[in-house]
Amino acid sequence: MDSLLIRGGTPLHGEVTVSGAKNAVLPILAATLLTAERCVIRRVPRLSDVTFMVQILRSLGAEVAMEGNTITVESPQIKGVGDYDLIRKMRGSICILGPLLGRLREASVSLPGGCVIGLRPVDLHLKGLRALGTSIEVRNGNIVAKAPDLRGAEIFLGGRSGPTVLGTANVMMAAVLAEGVTIIESAACEPEVTDLAVFLNAMGARITGAGSPTITIQGVSKLHGAEHEVIPDRIEAATFAIAAAVTNGEITIKGARAEHLGAVLDKLREAGVSIERKGTSLIVKRAGKLRPVDITTMPYSGFPTDAQAQMMVLMAVTEGTSIITERIFEGRFMHVPELARLGTDIAIEGPSAIVKGGKPLSGAPIMASDLRASAALVIAGMVAEGETVVNRIYHLDRGYENIDEKLRGLGAQIERVAER
């Protein structure tokens, strides 16, 4: 198992290009199961999660070819039973349920795994699919679903922490081949949901309203093959922007879509970070002394939970007190004890973290607990004095394409080593 060895104290400078969005590509790859015809997906990030999804598609009978950042899928014949050993490794694998129901009218999919960052149930997925006429049982750790008569319906997908992104994706993918009209209320508005809808429409689906709380789907009898380029990863772009601010560097982030980053860019500017848009690039640097800001994570277009840990590091090196409140996932502060090993002063009070910033950080061995925590620990290591070793970086490889190589290209002293 690999670790990252980081020697801190070097500001980041240069240019970096954003990869395709992990949270968009997984349901898009799943959606290729909805047709027997050839689908070509471009700007696919080379991630372990993508590798798992490709293995899942192949286990279902799909023919998958990977060349660089392009994946071609043909699924003339597929089966409706997912492989437990593959699906248990990745929460995003639940998104095969909707396409299998849409195409085969039945599916058996094991409950998925993934990052351990609090309770992330699939009850809203099942609620939406049941509304379409699916009978569902959960037995022996498997979701067993049958829908011989898949029909459109009006479905409310709001939950305790807001809309469900993968739940919205699953219902959309089942509904495109259902008879009649489906209306999803309190749908997730994330750009990744919109990107999925763009791909489905290219396949012949009839979806309107994606990106808004109300999505309307007119069912069709059949979908065909299509080509699609995945949107840039907004969380990767946010991670690099925050890293530039933390290290007091100046970087150009190429390919980022500022319109997907509104809340993050707003908070960075409030914290004293300069962000200049230049075509499809963002130029990020400090604009003076950093200022503490309060943050509350919210569903899109609010501040994303996936950038919370990284922003906490920025506040930890900023003089003053800031409050970061997590409203999406309980238990998403597992990076706090590891940051404390580097010298941060952060106290947890219920759903909030009280960050007393401005203290110098010093390197230490630390351990990643989940994907975004891993990125935060790497950023902290780049500003800490001395050496930091980030262990268990397999989490990082799930969601960031070649992040250590990209950071080295910006001047970071970082290397991948066998775990100590």
Q: Are residues 9 and 29 in the same domain?
A: no
Give the Cα separation of 362 and 390 in Å (integer): 13
Quote the pLDDT of residue 1. 76
pLDDT more than 90, % of the chain:
86
Question: Do 285 and 308 touch, CB atoms closer than 8 A?
Answer: no
Question: Do 311 and 338 touch, CB atoms closer than 8 A?
Answer: no
Question: Do 90 and 113 touch, CB atoms closer than 8 A?
Answer: yes
For the stretch 156-182, pLDDT in tens is 999 888 899 999 999 999 999 999 999
Name residue 88's amino acid: R
Q: Are residues 295 and 174 in the same domain?
A: no
Q: Are residues 158 and 295 in the same domain?
A: no
For the stretch 102-140, pLDDT in tens is 999 999 998 765 434 344 468 899 999 999 999 999 888
Question: Do 73 and 63 touch, CB atoms closer than 8 A?
Answer: yes
Give strand ranges (E) for 9-129.
13-17, 39-42, 63-67, 70-74, 106-110
> What DSSP string runs through 295-362?
EEB-STTSB-GGGHHHHHHHHHTSSEEEEEE--S-TTTTTTHHHHHHTT--EEEETTEEEEEE-PPPB
Question: Do 24 and 192 touch, CB atoms closer than 8 A?
Answer: yes
Quote the pLDDT of residue 117. 34
Q: Rg (Cα) of the chain, in Å, rounded? A: 21
Quote the pLDDT of residue 400. 96
Q: Are residues 49 and 147 in the same domain?
A: yes
Beta strands 39-42 and 70-74 are antiparallel
Please say if the pLDDT value at position 410 is more than 50.
yes
Question: Do 4 and 389 touch, CB atoms closer than 8 A?
Answer: yes
Instruction: Catalytic residue, from 39, 95, 115, 189: name it.
Output: 115
What average pLDDT score do residues 70-78 get? Answer: 97
Please say if the pLDDT value at position 89 is more than 80.
no
Range of lowest pLDDT (81-85, 177-181, 201-205, 406-410): 81-85
Q: Are residues 241 and 377 in the same domain?
A: yes
Is residue 115 among the annotated active site residues? yes
Q: Are residues 193 and 319 in the same domain?
A: no
| Structural domain ending residue among the three candidates 229, 260, 293 | 229
For the stretch 324-340, pLDDT in tens is 999 998 778 999 999 99
Please say if the pLDDT value at position 270 is more than 80.
yes
Q: Are residues 393 and 347 in the same domain?
A: yes
Quote the pLDDT of residue 357. 98
Give the Cα separation of 149 and 154 in Å (integer): 16
| Structural domain ending residue among the three candidates 195, 229, 263 | 229
Please say if the pLDDT value at position 310 is more than 80.
yes
Residue count (the chain) = 420
Q: Are residues 154 and 37 in the same domain?
A: yes
Domain span holding position 68: 22-229
- Both tokens of residue 47? 């991630």
| Structural domain ending residue among the three candidates 229, 253, 283 | 229
Residue 288, domain CATH = 3.65.10.10
Q: Are residues 177 and 302 in the same domain?
A: no
Q: Are residues 31 and 132 in the same domain?
A: yes
Quote the pLDDT of residue 360. 96
pLDDT band, very low/low/confident/very high, at 420 (cuts 50, 70, 90): low
Give the Cα separation of 249 and 268 in Å (integer): 14
Phi first, then psi: give them for residue 181, nearest 5 degrees. Answer: -105, 135
Please say if the pLDDT value at position 83 is more than 90.
no
How many CB atoms sit inside 10 A of residue 201's CB? 16
**Does the pTM of the predicted model rise above 0.85?**
yes
Domains: count for the chain: 2
Q: Are residues 240 and 365 in the same domain?
A: yes
Quote the pLDDT of residue 113. 54
Question: Do 228 and 199 touch, CB atoms closer than 8 A?
Answer: yes
Q: Are residues 284 and 342 in the same domain?
A: yes
What average pLDDT score do residues 56-65 get? Answer: 96
